[in-house]
Amino acid sequence: DVKVTQSSRYLVKRTGEKVFLECVQDMDHENMFWYRQDPGLGLRLIYFSYDVKMKEKGDIPEGYSVSREKKERFSLILESASTNQTSMYLCASRGGQGHGYTFGSGTRLTVV
Amino acid sequence: AQSVTQLGSHVSVSEGALVLLRCNYSSSVPPYLFWYVQYPNQGLQLLLKYTSAATLVKGINGFEAEFKKSETSFHLTKPSAHMSDAAEYFCAVSGGSNDYKLSFGAGTTVTVRA
């Protein structure tokens, strides 16, 4: 089975800090994604990457950036964390056309 | 652009009763459709997917869904609910084979009464 591993389950950061969320997949998938999940809003796409060093903005990219230097790793960066970025962050990878995504267990980020 | 609407944010069923979760989609191209389940404090797990083959799709844990193009629907059903089905369920759509992105509905939380 594909595994998508997010480095932290829970994080607490202070307003203004630079925050790195890490995601690693072990099945050589080309496509990787970062979503945030908020009650009543479902999952909203922040950024995605369809190949190494390639990235595209999703629906809500403001305040975020990403890095994909290696195929297996996709990092989400909060340049200056704010309280409205308190959320559950989910990473996913996709194994080709018509395949569903495989999700990590999520990182619950609290910004205080 | 593609989008989905899930009707009902909460559904409560008795153990052994039918589970019916509604999803309607909007897509300008033939869609691919997915249902995911999320248990507390976990990521999302794929239940089933429709990718333009059979319109009745069977998934894991006894769930199935039927693609109805005329109604733009992809409702999820399970004939007999089990306590372990208590979770949040998400419908998602992508714009066919050339679309990288999944768009999700807001989710439906299912509770199962003993």
Q: What is the pLDDT of residue A100?
A: 74
pLDDT in tens, B49-76: 998 778 899 999 999 999 999 999 999 9
**A96 interfacial to chain B (CB closer than 8 Å):** no
Full pLDDT tens readout for chain A, 112 residues: 668 999 899 999 999 999 999 999 998 888 999 999 998 888 999 999 988 989 999 999 999 999 999 999 999 999 999 999 999 999 999 876 667 789 999 999 999 9
Contact: B32, A50; criterion CB under 8 Å: no
Contact: A4, B36; criterion CB under 8 Å: no
Beta strand segments in A1-112, E: 4-6, 10-13, 19-21, 23-25, 31-38, 42-51, 54-57, 64-70, 73-78, 87-94, 101-103, 107-111
**A101 interfacial to chain B (CB closer than 8 Å):** yes
Contact: A48, B107; criterion CB under 8 Å: no
Measure the CA–CA gap between A32 and A96, rounded to whole angstroms: 11
Answer for the pair B47, B37: CB distance below 8 angstroms, yes or no.
yes
> Which chain B residue has the Cα nearest residue A90?
B43
Q: What is the pLDDT of residue A2?
A: 63
Maximum CA extent, chain B: 44
Backbone φ and ψ of B36, nearest 5°: -120, 155
**A43 interfacial to chain B (CB closer than 8 Å):** yes
CA distance A105 to chain B (A): 4
pLDDT in tens, B16-44: 999 999 999 998 888 889 999 999 888 89
> Which chain B residue has the Cα nearest residue A33?
B101
SS3 of B110, please? strand
pLDDT exceeds cutoff 90 at B95: no
Q: What is the pLDDT of residue B76?
A: 98
Answer for the pair A111, A82: CB distance below 8 angstroms, yes or no.
yes
Contact: B42, A31; criterion CB under 8 Å: no
Give me the residue from A45, A94, A103 closest to B44, CB to CB. Answer: A103
Residue B100: pLDDT band by 50, 70, 90 thresholds? confident
**A76 interfacial to chain B (CB closer than 8 Å):** no
CB contacts of B92 in chain A (<8 Å) are: 43
The tokens describing B6, both together, are 């899930």
